[in-house]
Each structure stands twice: as C-alpha cells, then as structure tokens.
Structure 1
Amino acid sequence: MHAWIIWLPVCEAGRTFGMDSLGGWMFWIVCVCFSVWENAALKVNMRESSLEVVRGDSVILPCSFYTSSRLSTLNIIWTLARSSSPETPIQVIVYDYGQVIEDPSLIGRVAFTGLPLSADIILNYTRLSDAGTYRCMVNNLPEKADPGIGELELSVLEPPSLPDCKWDGDINLGGSVRLSCSVAEGVPTPDIRWEKVNPEEIPLPINMEGDFSGSVQIVNVSSQTSGLYRCSATNIL
C-alpha cells in the first residue's frame, strides 16, 4: 500500500501553524489507513449447508467470497470426501492464476459458473458417487482468509429399482412357503412392504434381511392363504 502525506500550513491572524502542531493529526490519519488495510481479510460464505439432487440431474454448489484485493492471484479449490470413502478426498476442480483444472474423472461434468467473481460450480449428470462433503477453499494473496473454507453436504437421491420377487417352499396343503423381495438400489433406503391383495388387501409382517430385502413366511398353507401377494418398494421419490 502507498500512503501520501501532504502538509498544508494553516494560517490564523497572521500566524502559521507548521508541521509541529499538525504532526499528531497527520500521524493519526495515516495509522487509521494502515489499520483498515491490515484488518481486511478474505471471507468465504457457503449459501447452503446441504443440498439434494436426483441422480442424473444437475446441481449448483454455491460458494461466495469477498476480497478487497485484485483477483490476479485468486486461487479456488473444490474437494470432495465421498460418502463411500470419506478418508480419501479427491480434488474436484481448481482455479489458479486464470487456469481451470478438473479431476480427470469429472471432466465434462463439472465447471465454474461465475469466475472470477464467484466460486460457484455446477455438477452435471450426477451419480451416486458424487454424494459426500464438498469443501470450497479460496485464497487471494496477500489477504488472509477469515475463514477461507466452506463446506456443504450433497445427497444424491435415487428411486427404488424394480423389486425382484421369489418364493420357495412347499405350496401343498399344510406346507410352508417363504416369499422374498429385494431391490438393487434406492436412496434413501426404500421401504419394502408385502401385502396379500386378493380377495382383500392385508398388510403382512415382514422380516427385513438387510436394507434392501424383506421376506414373508407363510406357514400351514391352506385355501385361506391362497391368493395374490404383492411386494412394493418406495422412498421419497
């Protein structure tokens, strides 16, 4: 920073007040200027703390920052700690001295949307592996960051896949039959239900076998247990 001091003599009734009488005031003004400069700090603001997107859709991850310095030294780094492997974060995209570098696995799917005034990025054709904790880190020398890091959680949602239903056991009179139903995917975890729908709908108690599979046991098969059974899998989508 450059500071300019101009001394102007002050006259009153034939008297001139020189540097000695004004020096204290000038020194105070210069100190204020330097104090404001020293207290300036880059600030990062995440406008959202969590976001949801349906698999295959696009989502904008917002990251705003304030800086009082020129943007010639601006550096922005986005990282991702995937929900499936949080211990090994990856570098998503970087802006450094005017150049943009994407992670090879995300080329064509990730981009900045408002450089150099914004650190927002867009993520296209989202996948389940995109879910996790994103960190936006901004630096712009010589300013210090206060803080220079923001985080948000991204959840990638997916409707349940078509249920796969099977049965095994003895369907003869007095026998025992096991009806099983499973889905391959779904976020959040699907709610699996079994119902007897013929001649009337009757919810059945289900034994969950993990998050994506459930079964019903029918004992002592008879004419009363015969009919149409239905398995359904639902979540918020």
Structure 2
Amino acid sequence: MSLPAGTPETGWLRVLFLGLSTLASSSLAQLELHVPTGLNKLEAIEGQEVVLPAWYTMTREESSSQPWEEPIVIWFLEQEGKELAQVLSYINGALSNIPRVSLVHSVTTRNVSLRLEALQEGDSGTYRCSINVQDGKSPSMGHSSKSIELKVLVPPAPPSCSLQGVPYVGTNVTLNCKSPRSKPTAQYQWEKLAPSSQVFFGPALDAVRGSLKLTNLSTAMSGVYVCKAQNRVGFAQCNVTLEVMTGSKAAVVAGAIVGTLVGLVLLAGLVLLYQRRSKTLEELANDIKEDAIAPRTLPWTKGSDTISKNGTLSSVTSARALRPPKAAPPRPGTFTPTPSVSSQALSSPRLPRTDGPPPQAISLSPGGVSSSALSRMGAVPVMVPAQSQAGSLV
C-alpha cells in the first residue's frame, strides 16, 4: 500500500496521539475501544477486500445536560522497517483517507471499522485505531486504542515446467517446476496423467523445490506430467510431455543435433572463406589499376598520315595503312606509290601528256582482294599522298 509518510499532518497527529495516550493514562477512562475476540489477527487474499472491525463504548453515558462532542478517530499502519503512516483520520467532522481505505459506518454510530479494498501484498502490517472524546462541560478527556494485525496472502502464480536431461531408455531425467510468486511459499506436487496415472512422493519428489527425479527410464514412463503449485489460498499448475526414446531414436536425435552443428560450422567457414577471397580479389584489382600505364596517343592529324619534318614519308604501322585510296584521278605528271614506300624521297620521272583517259588508281589490296572484302575482314582504308615531279609531297 502506498502510504504518505513524513507529512506535516502525520507528524502532528502522531504527537497528538502520543500526548492523548499519556493524558488518558493519568485520568479516568471514559470510553473503551473494542475489537472482536480472536479477530486481532486477520488474513485476507490479495485482490479481495477486508474489514477491520472496531467500535467504542462510553463507561458513563452522557445525559442531555452533558453532551459529548464528536470523537477524533485516527487509523495508523505500522510496518517493520518503515515509519508510522496514517491511512485515515476523522477530525471535527472532516474525513481524510488514502485510496482504497474507508470507514464502513458513520462515526455517529460509534462503529469505526476500517475497510480495505483491492488488497495488495504491501498492505500487510499492524493497523492501530486511536479514539479520543472530550466532555463538552469538563476538561476531562477519554482515550482508547486497539491494534489489528493483517496478513495479505498471495495465491501461487502460474508455474513454469521444464525437462532436464535426454529422455532415452535407461537414463535419468529431472522434471522441474517453479512458481515466481506465492505467499505463503507454495508446495509442489507432481502426477502423471492417464492412461497410466501415477502420483509421486519423496524421495523422488522434492515438494519444496518442485523437482521430480525419474531414473532408469522405460518407454512405459512416457506421457504427460502435471505439476501443481499450491498454498492455503490457491493453486496453479503447468505440464510437460515426456517421450522416452529407444537407443536408435536417441542416436538419430544425437546425429541430427551433431549434423546440424557441423553444418552450421561449415556454413560459417564457407562464408568466411568467400569474404576473404572477395577481399583478396578486390585488393588485386586495385593493385593492377595502380600499376597500369595509360596507352600512348599517336599525334596523327585527322584524315592524314604522319609526315616527317624533312618532307619524307614515314612508314605507317597502324591498321590505317590498309585503307584503300579514294577513287579520285591523280594529277597529271604524278604517280601513285606502292604500299611499300621507303623512308627516302622518290624521284618522279616526267610522264608524257596523253589525250587518253586518266590512269586508274593502283589497288593497295594484296593478291587482288577487293576493298569491300578487306572492309569485311576488318581492314581500315588509308590515304597515301602522291609525289610531284620535284620530289615533294602533294
């Protein structure tokens, strides 16, 4: 229960409670607070509600000439290791209380029973009720207090069942059962369901820890085993299925497990090898790129062959040397050189002028192969410059 502690109101009420108790002990008691016999210790279940019964009586009934004022009612909660906390107060007709706490009846009925709703385990403790009443005409005062101890019980929370060991014929296994929450502490019971029902006891059963040891397993011991966790206020259960395997089945299971593990290891190795190989290939490719030399660019003029500075014709080594010349008529007095042209200047003899048709260009195709055939073979046509009579290139 979340209770306010250390507040100013709680402080002065505690002082008032102690002062009135001291004063009442030195004066004649004029009222008495009652708690039913045998109900000063109560137990309740978590989640439910409980009523702490209490009422007071006067030792001398007031008369019409001696009226009594409304009493002062205070309920406190004492818990081990914690400060005294106020849970309800009734002073001068004003009621103050924390959530889930209230009075069952009106104070004017002299019944000051306390109701606690939606109980929690933290509500456990000793509840003390203090009553103070003052005579309207005299300074005398009456005081009384009683205590009720409350213990909130918690049913076992649903437990968890597990199997420890490999269940095959001739071996031993242990069935475990544990509830995470219980007050008081839960006790455990194991039993085997039909068709061969069986209830287990010690020494195979540990009722405190919830373990059941099964030794020298046989196929007849296969079945559903149920664990029940219980205390005085409730129970919860879980179950586990036991299938006892023969030697061959156990070998198959073990082989499957080992095979799976080996497969996972191999797969991991292949992935690692692939990653290393990819990294090596990538590094090798980077090294090749760094060591490679860019190809030289020949200083050729577009559409012409390379000509030396002294006017001589350089030998053409590229594929462009195979390009056939265009079918344009040569100039009069010139001739077309053969494909094998030396690097020296050639003298051109003067040819007589004729009135006949202009000479045809000499084919550069070796063996009489046509230019279209050379083009299909991948040859590139090239223009070879003519030479004038003076020996200079035209």
TM-score of the pair, normalised by structure 1: 0.69
Relative to structure 1, the CA distance from residue 40 to residue 217 in structure 2 (aligned partners, 3 Å threshold; closer, same or farther) is closer
For 1:45, the equivalent position in structure 2 comes to 34
Taking the aligned partners of 1:231 and 1:63, their CA distance within structure 2 comes to: 43
Of 126-135 and 221-230, deviating more is 221-230
Contact 2:191/2:197, CA 8 A, preserved across alignment = no
Q: Deviations over 1:136-193 (max 9, x none)?
A: 1111233233xx1111122323332222111121212333212111112334433310
Contact 1:114/1:120, CA 8 A, preserved across alignment = no
Relative to structure 1, the CA distance from residue 214 to residue 124 in structure 2 (aligned partners, 3 Å threshold; closer, same or farther) is same
Percentage of matched positions with identical amino acids: 28
Runs of 4+ off more than 6 Å: none
For 1:192, the equivalent position in structure 2 comes to 188
Contact 2:187/2:207, CA 8 A, preserved across alignment = no
Contact 1:178/1:215, CA 8 A, preserved across alignment = yes
Q: Pick one of 106, 113, 124 that aligns with 1:114.
A: 106
For 2:178, the equivalent position in structure 1 comes to 182
Instruction: Give unmatched runs, 5+ long, in structure 1.
Output: 1-37
For 2:96, the equivalent position in structure 1 comes to 101
Higher relative contact order (CA 8 A, sep 6+): 1
* Partner SS, residue 122 of structure 2: helix
Taking the aligned partners of 1:132 and 1:40, their CA distance within structure 2 comes to: 28
Bigger fraction of residues in strand: 1
Contact 1:50/1:154, CA 8 A, preserved across alignment = yes
Taking the aligned partners of 2:210 and 2:84, their CA distance within structure 1 comes to: 34
Taking the aligned partners of 1:208 and 1:191, their CA distance within structure 2 comes to: 6
One-letter code aligned to 2:182: G
For 2:47, the equivalent position in structure 1 comes to 56
* Partner SS, residue 88 of structure 1: coil
For 2:216, the equivalent position in structure 1 comes to 220
Mapping 1:35-184, distance limit 5 Å = 39-47=28-36, 48-67=39-58, 70-72=67-69, 74-82=71-79, 85=80, 87-102=82-97, 106-107=98-99, 109-112=100-103, 113-116=105-108, 117-141=110-134, 142-145=140-143, 148-184=144-180
Contact 2:189/2:207, CA 8 A, preserved across alignment = no
* Partner SS, residue 180 of structure 2: coil
TM-score of the pair, normalised by structure 2: 0.43
Instruction: Give unmatched runs, 5+ long, in structure 2.
Output: 1-26, 135-139, 234-394
Mapping 1:197-216, distance limit 5 Å = 197-198=193-194, 199-205=196-202, 206-208=205-207, 213-216=209-212
Between the two proteins, the alignment pairs up a number of residues equal to 189
Larger C-alpha radius of gyration, 1 or 2?
Answer: 2
Contact 2:28/2:142, CA 8 A, preserved across alignment = no
Contact 2:121/2:153, CA 8 A, preserved across alignment = yes
Question: Is 1:233 matched with 2:224?
Answer: no
Shift of 1:80: 1.7
Taking the aligned partners of 2:147 and 2:94, their CA distance within structure 1 comes to: 23
Of 127-136 and 49-58, deviating more is 49-58
